[in-house]
């Protein structure tokens, strides 16, 4: 009876409105109500039935979910998620092209993740895959075949990934190997900086009497990447590939496409550049020149700060013929140290990532096996409840005034747990070497445009990023430099 009635009503309405228009309206009503039902179930009813699971951040288009927002400005998406759940910092889930990713923004949850090393994995296999390691290569890398030199036979056989991590740590963490690396780096870096007036693509003009106009981003990148590459890999790599730094810089801004498996057809050049680079070369070189750049940018944009830092650092270079005393800069310069920390805080968009091997419960929330978990460190680095009302802006003395801040669980620019950056000590050395060297060897002035003042470089917050954010492509720090006598 009801069916006959509905059919009759359908026919009457269709005849009155015209079939095409009526079908359009009907389709819209069906799609709209299905969408509302799906939203009600997914974002309201299901979370009520599963209170122990992180709540999903609502979205409108199934499967695509937050995909485009994630690619366009992932930090804004994470902030929106945190705010959507009333800034409670409970874990939540986003959907990126069909994939559910848990987002953690509370330092206490994050500490729980770092402690859990059995059910949460760093997923080395998949990371290697995105850098082109084949199935056969993966099989070889995960086959237990090596003996740990320290533990010997007692430790049992280890696979390539374990041994590679072991070697990275002994090379890069404080100890004998790092001392050798640092010594080599400083020698090579001195060659770069001592040559008086820097030459290369970063010099864009002359001001007479030995003065030059330089682009600092490129200057920091060229000198630090060359010296680090030479110290880590020997001279052959740069001899075989003299353009390596340029190739790297062209790749750097888009490297996230490789990590997030962005479709190759939309990023052909990036994937071609990736072929020319190796993964370890990227993790070693992607960040240090950026932090050096930002530190110098903040220092030279304030005459008062510049004078204070030059005064503090000047004992590291007693004469222009001396070698830069990097240990003095690292250990006796509290202002420089505070600047390093606050710049890291403002520019790190580091994320720690884990693959969930089996269901894992942290502080009452269960994270389901087979999904990914992401910890965007920027969500705590800008937390006003920890860093104060001025958390969003640079404060050179913030970490000097409150020394405990550097050990806060909200301050993790290098990630944490088993995957914490082992290059953090090397990075600090590189940044201090560049900033200290430039400030003590040169007189510096902002090269102001004809009208007005040089704008402070804007942070490129748009690209998903795995370490430090650089400046917007069209922004740089342009300095007039003149060797000191």
Contact map string, positions 116 to 145, toward ligand HEM, x by CB under 6 A: ------------------------------
Contact map string, positions 391 to 420, toward ligand HEM, x by CB under 6 A: ----------------------xxxx--xx
Q: Which among 70-78, 211-219, 244-252, 348-356 is the span making contact with ligand HEM, rule CB under 6 A?
A: 348-356
What's the rounded Cα separation, in Å, for the pair 141 and 135? 10
Output the smallest distance, CB 255 to ligand HEM, in A: 13
Q: Which is nearer to ligand HEM, 169 or 363 (CB)?
A: 169
Query: Out of 245, 255, 284, 379, which residue is the one contacting ligand HEM (CB under 6 A)?
Result: 284
b (16+ CB within 10 A) / e for 470-480: bbeeebbbbbb
421 is in an annotated binding site: yes
Output the smallest distance, CB 426 to ligand HEM, in A: 4
What's the rounded Cα separation, in Å, for the pair 418 and 405? 22
Output the smallest distance, CB 416 to ligand HEM, in A: 5
Q: Which is nearer to ligand HEM, 288 or 379 (CB)?
A: 288
Q: Which residue has the tokens 């959507």?
A: 84
172 binds ligand HEM (CB under 6 A): yes
Query: Out of 65, 91, 436, 467, which residue is the one contacting ligand HEM (CB under 6 A)?
Result: 467
Tell which residue, 132, 54, 98, has the closest CA to residue 360: 54
Output the smallest distance, CB 6 to ligand HEM, in A: 58
- Could you tell me how far CA 30 lies from the centroid of its own chain? 44
Name every residue whose Cβ is closer than 8 Å to that of residue 290 and which is 6 or more positions away in sequence: 220, 347, 467, 468, 469, 470
468 binds ligand HEM (CB under 6 A): yes
376 binds ligand HEM (CB under 6 A): no
421 binds ligand HEM (CB under 6 A): yes
Q: Map residue 109 onto helix, strand or coil.
A: helix
Output the smallest distance, CB 92 to ligand HEM, in A: 20
352 binds ligand HEM (CB under 6 A): yes
Query: Out of 95, 287, 338, 463, which residue is the one contacting ligand HEM (CB under 6 A)?
Result: 287
291 binds ligand HEM (CB under 6 A): yes
Residue 249's H or E segment, with its range, is: helix 244-252
Sheet with 442-446, side-by-side order of all strands? 203-208, 211-215, 478-483, 442-446
Name every residue whose Cβ is closer than 8 Å to that of residue 102 and which is 6 or more positions away in sequence: 54, 91, 92, 93, 356, 367, 371, 372, 373, 374
Output the smallest distance, CB 374 to ligand HEM, in A: 10
Residues 204, 213: contact at Cβ < 8 Å?
yes
Other residues' Cβ atoms within 10 Å of the Cβ of residue 222: 21
Burial (CB < 10 A; 0-12, 13-18, 19+), residue 310, is middle
Residue 471: CA atoms inside 13 Å, Cβ hemisphere, count?
25
Query: Out of 282, 427, 435, 469, which residue is the one contacting ligand HEM (CB under 6 A)?
Result: 427
Q: Which among 2-10, 198-206, 287-295, 319-327 is the span making contact with ligand HEM, rule CB under 6 A?
A: 287-295
Q: Which is nearer to ligand HEM, 91 or 423 (CB)?
A: 423
* The pair of three-digit structure tokens given for residue 45, joined into one six-digit string: 């009813």
Q: Which is nearer to ligand HEM, 203 or 259 (CB)?
A: 259
Output the smallest distance, CB 234 to ligand HEM, in A: 15
Residues 57, 93: contact at Cβ < 8 Å?
yes
User: Is the sign of the CA dihedral 198, 200, 202, 203 positive or negative?
Assistant: positive
Q: Map residue 299 onto helix, strand or coil.
A: helix
Q: From the annotation, which residues make up the binding site for heme?
A: 421
Q: From the annotation, which residues make up the binding site?
A: 421
Query: Which residues are near ligand HEM by CB under 6 A?
Result: 165, 168, 172, 283-284, 287-288, 291, 348, 350, 352, 413-416, 419-423, 426-427, 467-468
């Amino acid at each position: 009876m009801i069916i006959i009635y509905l059919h009759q009503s359908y026919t009457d309405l269709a005849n009155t409105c015209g079939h095409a228009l009526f079908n359009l309206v009907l389709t819209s009503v069906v799609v709209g109500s299905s969408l509302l039902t799906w939203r009600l179930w997914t974002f309201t009813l299901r979370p009520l039935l599963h209170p122990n699971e992180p709540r999903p951040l609502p979205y409108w288009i199934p499967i695509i979910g937050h995909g485009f927002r994630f690619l366009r400005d992932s930090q804004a998406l994470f902030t929106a998620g945190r705010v959507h759940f009333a800034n409670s910092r409970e874990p939540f889930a986003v959907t990126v092209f069909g994939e559910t990713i848990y987002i953690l923004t509370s330092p206490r949850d994050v500490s729980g993740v770092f402690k859990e090393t059995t059910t949460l994995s760093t997923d080395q296999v998949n990371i290697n895959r995105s850098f082109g390691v084949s199935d056969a290569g993966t099989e070889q890398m995960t086959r237990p075949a090596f003996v740990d030199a320290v533990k010997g036979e007692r430790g049992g056989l280890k696979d390539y990934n374990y041994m590679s991590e072991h070697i990275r740590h002994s090379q890069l963490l404080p100890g004998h190997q790092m001392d050798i690396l640092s010594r080599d780096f400083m020698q090579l870096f001195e060659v770069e900086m001592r040559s008086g007036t820097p030459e290369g693509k970063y010099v864009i003009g002359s001001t007479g009497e030995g003065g030059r106009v330089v682009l600092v981003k490129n200057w920091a990148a060229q000198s630090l990447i060359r010296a680090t590459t030479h110290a880590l890999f020997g001279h052959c790599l740069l001899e075989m590939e003299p353009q390596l730094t340029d190739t790297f810089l062209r790749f750097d801004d888009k490297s996230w496409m490789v990590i997030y498996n962005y479709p190759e057809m939309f990023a052909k050049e990036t994937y071609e550049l990736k072929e020319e680079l190796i993964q370890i070369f990227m993790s070693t070189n992607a960040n240090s020149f950026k932090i050096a750049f930002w530190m110098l940018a903040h220092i030279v944009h304030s005459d008062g700060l510049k004078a204070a830092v030059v005064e503090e650092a000047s004992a590291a270079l007693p004469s222009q013929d001396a070698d830069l005393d990097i240990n003095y800069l690292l250990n006796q310069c509290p202002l420089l140290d505070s600047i390093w920390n606050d710049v890291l805080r403002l520019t790190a968009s580091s994320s720690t990532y884990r693959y969930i091997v089996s269901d894992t419960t942290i502080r009452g929330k269960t994270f389901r096996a087979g999904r990914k978990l992401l910890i965007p460190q920027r969500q705590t680095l800008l937390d006003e409840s920890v860093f104060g009302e001025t958390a969003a802006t640079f404060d050179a003395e913030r970490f000097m005034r409150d020394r405990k801040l550097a050990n806060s669980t909200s301050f993790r620019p290098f990630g944490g747990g088993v995957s914490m950056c082992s290059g953090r000590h090397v990075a600090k050395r590189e940044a201090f070497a560049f900033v200290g060297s430039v400030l003590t060897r040169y007189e510096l002035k902002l090269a102001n445009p004809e009208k007005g003042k040089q704008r402070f470089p804007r942070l490129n917050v748009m690209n998903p990023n795995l370490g430090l954010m650089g400046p917007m492509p069209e922004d740089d720090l342009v300095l007039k430099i003149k060797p000191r006598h």
